[in-house]
Chains A and B, each alone.
Chain A
């Protein structure tokens, strides 16, 4: 219940807005300091749709957090126009430009991690850092069963009993799933993998140690293929690491956003008593 409340509070701190880009009306949630494009963190959600967590709330204390709802998700119309991930990524890059943002950080969760990767390939120097949370760029050949909401719920959390099963709208679920299946591509995509070494943007790849949907063993693929990737495993968290351990994820993501690769060197004081 407390987590549910925290999540509601997190969401309530964000303002809902809409913008027009590339022929789509895109809903987005925004919070945090309005101090210009350099401090923006653009967030791309996973296949389950736009759902904020306490992680977003914590990050919004320092960063201008903008969470887009990908066209075809949530209350938006079914997206039958985007032919592939690259095209969808292009629409979202246009959405960022429509906000007047010229340099930004990008975070993608699960399916959104793959979408964010395509955006990164298009944005080049505009991108200051790339954060991939339980990303679905590399996936195991077999997926665990997700037939019922209960199955899905168990897959999302390391301790599912701590979270209520979220009620969803079957029509929305069906629309989103159709779009994801059409666009996500194969578990290993040689055409995409060929381009990844050229992605020199500082990249943080975050996996939960208990993730069974995108197992943490996949994390090494990012290190091997992306041009500049750092791996971070979140202990005792599953696919929704940001719901399971929001403070832990927010701390390392915030540090990476602030210091990029220099996040390797601790700046935390070890003083117990002065």
Chain B
């Protein structure tokens, strides 16, 4: 890839508020120094004398400390401009570099190379609850938090009533914050930031806490700020919210900017990329998912996700022949090889009509017969809600349990006329006799559901406001 992505003839747009120029961020993996001064001095002394570093790990590659294996390119050559009043969404899977990018724009850490230029006051809301002190009351914390965001006392006093009203904390405002619920914390945190009137607002996953009503309020507020000319950079896994708020989005993948365009297009392509074979997200530990899974009471699933997260750091680069964290050892009873979605005629595709049955196929290699083998499939919508889950051993033992070693297509069909149009991702896992997850595949496949059947669908009025939007049989009986 070209080192500089700035177009030569790029129009110099005076309304550009944020200009990200060729930003790279490199982390050295492993040890930074050895932690104590004595050891660092020892190493330095040994190096200057040309000897061997007594503190170097035995398996450390000789000399080339900066060889590629030790380096993680968290961001590579990121370039984009954001105009005044624009809302830019940043999407990508976990570890793609979204948060690092925001941290750099916020000035919390410096890029390894490149620069970010900003016009105007920046407020960053990278974590809503941070900056609060549990022993202080809500009132005192409002002033404290606002000050950490660069707001003066006078400004806060002017906005105080509005902030309290927005946060819906009401009479608890003089209670120490340690007695607040997580939702109250989130609400107050966002309320303060939302009333800053910054010129640039950086927002990272603020929608995680708080209830649905509050989320809508947050989006409304961000929209209003944007209409007032505030530039918003928005990172979220809630793609639906992102769609509502941002007209433009960029997509990051492994630290590279792979797309910049209209939000709808970028999100669609993101889902298409998820559905591509080989784009395995199984190493992706998304804290959001834990809650989703926990909500379904599926403990084993949750536990396994945790181990996967633990392994995440180690798998900065995963190659095909290396076993990914969370995958079973090759001598496990079965493993997932891949998967796809297809229609009734067996045509693989990613876009389905509301009226079509969708068949999901998981390609599974059974390595040895195991009577406990079973699997579970879940459909997740673009806001990370688990829409449905299905277990293959609900009524009788799974067919996998009786399978002789070999490679199988394991098919399950989702009936038509069930879900509302939108983007969905299919997660799949195989479990052993103790309901322990042997392997899970996040985004086994992904699909888009379009409605060109129903009257509303044909009018383009897709959203019925519910995820499950089945075609039900309505009956009208005259009471006589």
- A and B form one complex: no
Question: Could you tell me which B residues sit within 8 Å of A by CB distance?
Answer: none
Question: Could you tell me which A residues sit within 8 Å of B by CB distance?
Answer: none
